[in-house]
Amino acid sequence: MKVKDVAAYVGGTVVCGSEQLEKDVEYAFASDLMSDVLTIQKDNLVLLTGLANVQTIRTAEMSDISCIVFVRNKKVSPDMIKLGKENGIVMIECPYSMFKTSGMLYSSGLKPIY
């Protein structure tokens, strides 16, 4: 699945990385706990999270996560966008709950990690 399709399926707004919407993603992981995200070994991963702070972006950077969907209408700050741009991370703001967003992407074909 392309990153642009992820944004479309969840009715999201791309707030960072709009030049990278053709990137492919295969898996998704939903968590507000960055400690959990840091244990994931898979690549081509979309992170779904309601945790909107700079450490969310740092975690994605270290874990080679190229796309983050912020659920529950969480807003991305200018500091987060700056860091996201430096690291080529696409950020999508989404108005729905973690559960609903996960369901939309699961039924559209993104795979779970386990």
Partner 1 sequence: MTMHFDYKIEGGDFTRAGYASSQVKRSLKQLNVDPKVIKRVVVALYEAEVNIVAHAYHGNIHVEINTEKINMTLIDEGPGIANIEQAMQMGFSTATPEVREMGFGAGMGLPNIKNNSDEFRIESEVGVGTKLNIVVYINK
Q: Which residues bind partner 1 (CB under 8 A)?
A: 32-39, 41, 51, 53-56, 58-59, 61-64, 79, 87
Nearer to partner 1 by Cβ, of 40 and 90: the residue is 40
CA distance 2 to 114: 21
CB closer to partner 1 out of 38 and 97: 38
Q: Which residues contact 52 (CB under 8 A, 6 or more apart)?
A: 70, 74, 75, 76, 77, 80
Q: Which is nearer to partner 1, 19 or 79 (CB)?
A: 79
